[in-house]
Amino acid sequence: MLAYLLMSGIATGALYAMVAIGLVLVYRSTGHINFSHGELFMFGGFIAYTFFVILGVPYFLSLILAVIGGFVLGVLSDRAVYRPLIKAPPLTMVLATVGFSFFLKGIARYFWGSMEGGDYVAFPAAMDPSPIPIGSINVFPQQLLILAGAIVFVVGFTIFFRMTRAGKMMQATSENPTAAYLSGIRVERVYTLTWGAGSAIAAAAAVLMAPMTLLSPDVGFQLLLKAFAATVLGGLGSMPGAIVGGLLVGILESLGGGYIHSGVQDVSAFIVIIIVLVLRPAGLFGVRNIRDT
C-alpha cells in the first residue's frame, strides 16, 4: 500500500510543483499572485487538445505547440490586461487576474465546453494507457511521463535562469526592479517574458495531466489551489520551495487519503500547511522578512 501511495503522491505532486513554479515565477518577478494561472493551465490543455485530438498532430508536437501557445497567451495577457495596471494598487491587480480567469473560462466553454456532449473532453494518452508493473506495484505509463516531464521542465528552467541572458535578467528584476532598470534592463519586457514563461509551464503541466483525468473549463481552479498551497508550504517566492512544496502536498494527500480516510485526502495538505506556517511562517524555504523597528 505504501509503495502505491508514494508513487501516486509523487506523480500528482510533480504536477502541483510544475503549476506552482509558474505561480512563483510571476510572483518573484512582478510581486503579484496570478489568480488566472489555473485558467492559463486549463487553456494550455485545450490548445493541446485542439492539435492532438481534433487536428491529429502527434502528442509530443502538440505538447510543444501548447507550450508555445501558452507562452503567447501569457504575453498577450500581460500586454492587454496587466501592463496597463502596472502602477495600480495590488488589489486592482488581484481583481484583474480574477477577472481574466473568468474571461478565459468563458472562452474555453464557448469553444470546447460541449464538444463531446458534456462539460469535459477526453484527452487520449500519449502511449498505451494500460498499467505496467514496476516492482510490486502497477503504474500508468502516463504517470512516468509526468515525472519525466516535470524533471525536464524543472532542469530546463534552472538552466534557463542560470545560463541564459534572459533568465539572468528575470532573476535580477525579481531581486530589485529599480536596480535592474538602472543597469539597463528593460523591466517591462522582462515582466512580459515572465508572464509568458509562467503560462508556458502551466500549459506543459496541463498536457501531461490531461490524459490522466478529463479536460474541462473548470479544471484550473482546483490545480491553482493545490499549487498555491505548495508555494505557501515551500515558501512564497522560492523556486526550490515550490518544487518541494508541490511534491509534499501530493504525498501528504495520498498518505492521508490512504491511511486516515479518503475524506481527509483533499484537506490533509492544508492541515499540514497550517501547522508549518504556525511553526515557520515563511514556509520551508522562504526567507523571513526582518522588520525594522
The contact set with other proteins (CB under 8 A) reads: 1, 4-5, 7-9, 11-12, 15, 109, 113-114, 116-120, 122, 124-125, 129-131, 137-140, 209, 211-214, 216-219, 222, 253-258, 261-263, 265-266
Nearest approach in angstroms of CB 219 to other proteins is 6
Spatial CA neighbour of 126 closest among 142, 139, 102, 150: 142
Alpha helices in the chain (DSSP H): 2-30, 37-49, 59-77, 90-112, 141-163, 165-175, 177-182, 187-209, 219-234, 239-255, 262-279
219-234 and 2-30 helices cross at what angle (nearest 10)? 80
Nearest approach in angstroms of CB 7 to other proteins is 8
CB 261 within 8 A of CB 267: no
Q: In terms of CB distance, is 48 or 187 closer to other proteins?
A: 48
Nearest approach in angstroms of CB 101 to other proteins is 14
The whole-angstrom separation of Cα 291 and Cα 293 is: 6
Nearest approach in angstroms of CB 27 to other proteins is 23
Nearest approach in angstroms of CB 144 to other proteins is 13
Q: In terms of CB distance, is 183 or 213 closer to other proteins?
A: 213
Q: In terms of CB distance, is 131 or 281 closer to other proteins?
A: 131
- CA angle (207, 53, 128) in 5-degree steps: 70
CB atoms within 10 A of CB 181: 15
Q: In terms of CB distance, is 6 or 94 closer to other proteins?
A: 6
Q: In terms of CB distance, is 101 or 254 closer to other proteins?
A: 254
DSSP letter at 293? -
